[in-house]
Structure 1
Amino acid sequence: MTRARILVVDDKPTFLSLFEKLAGDRMDVRTASTAAKALGVLELETVDVVVTDIRMPDMDGVELLHELKRRGLDIEVILVTAYGTIPQAVRAMQDGAFSYLTKPFDPAEALAIIEAAILRRRMREEPAADSVEEDRDGRDDDAQEGSRLAALSYREVVDLARDRATREYLVELLRTARGNVTRAAQRARLERESLHRLMRRYHLRAEDFRDKA
């Protein structure tokens, strides 16, 4: 099974060390102290996720995001922001960033967001699922759903959509593997413990997907 690989970009060595300790036992962690060095790493290696601070001396995290998009690299980007740059991070999500972390962040939450980004990246490598026939009377439901969405913030809508897509993918993954978590993790190219963590987050149990005797 190919381990997930992330690239952490920050000009502060303590921040880079933090992520190496946080995620190093579950995924391969590469580090870079500047955006330019990060681009150099990406010329040599493929990564699933880039975690980058917004404020850096040469090219900031948002500019790095735009450069990755310009180069057509299929990488999820998570921005790390202080309170004062949250609006900038939200705008970056509109430009394609996966999510953002606000300093100081909870390590467990950070790891969960990184794993969700990895899963989304891996989902794009899976064959497209068969389309589901829409309900003929679904227009009223769509209108109600639209009203609910309109009451949410942009980030809440994005997070909701990602949560739904991630849960649907996990359900299909476990259904195909008939509840065999090891097989499902291998197919998704995730560590088994990472898949277990995602299952707990989305309240999924392996036994619900096993063949009944």
Structure 2
Amino acid sequence: MMKSKSKILVLDDDPNIVEVIVTRLESMDFNVHGFTDPGKALDALRKDSYCVLVTDQKMPEMDGMVVLREAKKIDPDVEVIILTAYGSIEGAVRAIKEGAYDYISKPFEPLELVTKIEKAIEKRELKQRVRFLEQEVGDSIEYRIYAESPAMKRTLAIARQVSDSDSTVLIQGESGTGKELIARMIHYESRRKRRKFVVMDCGATPPSLIESELFGYVRGAFTGAIKDKRGIIEEADMGTLFLDEIGNISPEMQTRLLRVLESGEFRRVGELKPKQVDIRVLAATNADLEAKVEDGSFRPDLYYRLKVISIKLPSLRERKEDIPGLVQIFLSEFSRKTGKKIMGIDKRAMNMLFNHQWPGNVRELKNIIESAVVLCKGTTIGPDEILLSGIREQKEENLNTLESQEKNLVIQALKKANWVQKDAAAILGISRRVINYKIKKYNIRPEKVN
């Protein structure tokens, strides 16, 4: 537990008590803020993240029970310790039933309060850790990375080698190659694995929202900012921040992000005072950042700051030895989810998978196997199920560029979904916003392709 990172709020209508508690906690390296006004204490809780709130039970302006309820509304994770006078234990016990962590009777020994605060912090951290692990590892199959091919084995070896450092890593590869999985692997094999892994999808987030999502904002910073909001950078403090599709951020955001990488400092939108964070940054892109640097759309200093270590993920076309193993993993997953007993895939169907060019990479393969399992009427997947999944035999000369492959894939998905964009996006494993962008990019219209 890092005391300097553990923020404590102290609230009592007696300024002498506040001063004594604050002085003692600061001497033990806690970050403490003291208040005699309940309204100001709750405002501080709205503006920043505190681990523990120590509050008096009886105050003229606001009862400690009301403070407890309001504090839990603002931050359900804040642990509350009630200061109670002798003879009012019953009220303190009632407070515990309503969510307070503990109580302490006045007069009290300072060390007794410190012990309770430390245990409250441990409880908060444990509760958050369990929740984050439940969120991150909800379905373990999602985080299993299969590698039989030399290309993928080299990639995993590099990823494991850089896990222990705090260096920034730039993960490059085509869409669907598993860049986020590699980032998660690096995080969970690092010394930050017990802290948060926070994702910012720069590709799916509208440019107008990236600033407030990354940096957060204070109440009144713009129309609709009715309360303070922590940004993703602040959420990742002490953990890992994964910036997906980093090539999509604006020049202004590039400048602000560079400052975070260099100094750990940032400011919420509408706030003058800078904040400090300790984060490791992993970034990913399917764009050619070197070309963006050359044409002036991406800052060279940010590029080199991100590319302290570079990992290039092979496309599925470059690791076809992995297809049988990946197919078996996905078959097991979707057989379990659908309740079917699919034993395998026959040779003709497997040959079709080997002959396909896979513009959507592993994500496309996963979606194909999922639909094949759903469509399969027996225990073995054959060519009919693969054909119904949307794979067509394609000649190499018709796939001269990655963009033409991507366009064809989008068209096939749209046809299969009867031109319902939401369903086509689900088939491809992308968001509605992304498929809408692709349709506009390639000027895809039903009358042009039917």
* TM-score, length basis structure 2: 0.28
Distance (Å, rounded) in 1 between the aligned partners of 2:44 and 2:123: 22
CA deviation string 1:175-206 (max 9, x = no partner): xxxxxxxx89x97x8xxxxxxxxxxxxxxxxx
Residue 72 of structure 1, CA deviation? 4.6
Distance (Å, rounded) in 2 between the aligned partners of 1:97 and 1:127: 20
Describe how 1:82-97 pairs up with structure 2 within 5 A. Answer: 82-97=85-100
Describe how 1:130-149 pairs up with structure 2 within 5 A. Answer: none
Distance (Å, rounded) in 2 between the aligned partners of 1:51 and 1:117: 11
Aligned residue in 1 for 2:104: 101
Secondary structure (helix, strand or coil) at the match of 1:88 reads helix
Return the letter of the residue paired with 2:60.
P
Alignment check: 8 A CA contact 1:34 1:56 kept:
no
CA deviation string 1:146-168 (max 9, x = no partner): xxxxxxxxxxxxxxxxxxxxxxx
- Structure index of larger Rg: 2
What is the number of residues matched between the two proteins?
135
Instruction: Among all aligned residue pairs of Structure 1 and Structure 2, give the percentage whose two residues are the same amino acid.
Output: 39
Return the letter of the residue paired with 1:11.
D
Distance (Å, rounded) in 2 between the aligned partners of 1:40 and 1:94: 25
Aligned residue in 2 for 1:34: 37
Aligned residue in 1 for 2:68: 65
Describe how 1:1-213 pairs up with structure 2 within 5 A. Answer: 3-25=5-27, 26-127=29-130
Residue 73 of structure 1, CA deviation? 3.3
Residue 60 of structure 1, CA deviation? 1.2
Distance (Å, rounded) in 2 between the aligned partners of 1:99 and 1:33: 21
Change (3 A) 1:23 1:108: same
Q: Please, what is the CA RMSD of the aligned residues?
A: 2.3
Return the letter of the residue paired with 2:26.
G
Change (3 A) 1:71 1:4: closer
Distance (Å, rounded) in 1 between the aligned partners of 2:7 and 2:75: 18
Alignment check: 8 A CA contact 1:6 1:28 kept:
yes
Give unmatched runs, 5+ long, in structure 1.
131-182, 190-213
Distance (Å, rounded) in 1 between the aligned partners of 2:117 and 2:54: 8
User: Relative CO higher for 1 or 2, CA cutoff 8 Å, sep ≥ 6?
Assistant: 1
Alignment check: 8 A CA contact 2:45 2:74 kept:
no
Return the letter of the residue paired with 1:14.
N
* TM-score, length basis structure 1: 0.58
Secondary structure (helix, strand or coil) at the match of 1:84 reads coil
Alignment check: 8 A CA contact 1:5 1:48 kept:
yes
Distance (Å, rounded) in 1 between the aligned partners of 2:75 and 2:121: 18
Distance (Å, rounded) in 1 between the aligned partners of 2:106 and 2:75: 29
Distance (Å, rounded) in 2 between the aligned partners of 1:71 and 1:47: 11
Give unmatched runs, 5+ long, in structure 2.
135-190, 196-237, 239-450
Alignment check: 8 A CA contact 1:77 1:99 kept:
yes
Secondary structure (helix, strand or coil) at the match of 1:38 reads helix
Give the ranges of 4+ consecutive aligned residues of structure 1 lying more than 4 Å apart after TM superposition.
none
Distance (Å, rounded) in 2 between the aligned partners of 1:106 and 1:120: 22
